[in-house]
Amino acid sequence: MKKTKTKDRDRPIGKMTQLEDFLPPPGELVIPERTVKVTLRLDESSLKFFKGQAKKHHTKYQKMIRKILEKYTAKYAR
């Protein structure tokens, strides 16, 4: 009778090497954002768009608007 080699898919294949821990601690991952409260008037259609997209992507519409303003500023502030 011939022995068959079974493959254990949970075991590593080949030689293993330990990597240096390169990830920052959790406290450094959460960078507090300094924000300033402002009043802003938007077109009804713009607000409806952002609210719909926020709901679709499970986020907040104010955060999306803030992000797009940050990207605009980063591009044109150079």
Instruction: Show Cβ contacts of residue 53 under 8 Å, excluding neighbours closer than 6 positions.
Output: 61, 64
Q: Is 36 contained in some domain?
A: no
Domains in the chain, number: 1
User: Which range marks the domain in which residue 47 is found?
Assistant: 43-78
Q: Is 22 contained in some domain?
A: no
| Exposure string over 36-71, b if 16+ CB within 10 A, otherwise e | eeeeeeeeeeeeeebeeebeeeeeebeebbeeeeee
Q: Is 28 contained in some domain?
A: no
Instruction: Show Cβ contacts of residue 50 under 8 Å, excluding neighbours closer than 6 positions.
Output: 61, 64, 65
The pLDDT > 90 percentage for the chain reads 47
Using pLDDT thresholds of 50, 70 and 90, give the confidence band for residue 4: low
Predicted confidence (pLDDT) per residue in 22-42, tens digit: 777 777 777 777 889 999 999
Using pLDDT thresholds of 50, 70 and 90, give the confidence band for residue 56: very high
Q: Is 51 contained in some domain?
A: yes
Q: Is 1 contained in some domain?
A: no
What pTM was estimated for this model as a whole? 0.57
- pLDDT above 70 (res 6): no
Q: Is 67 contained in some domain?
A: yes
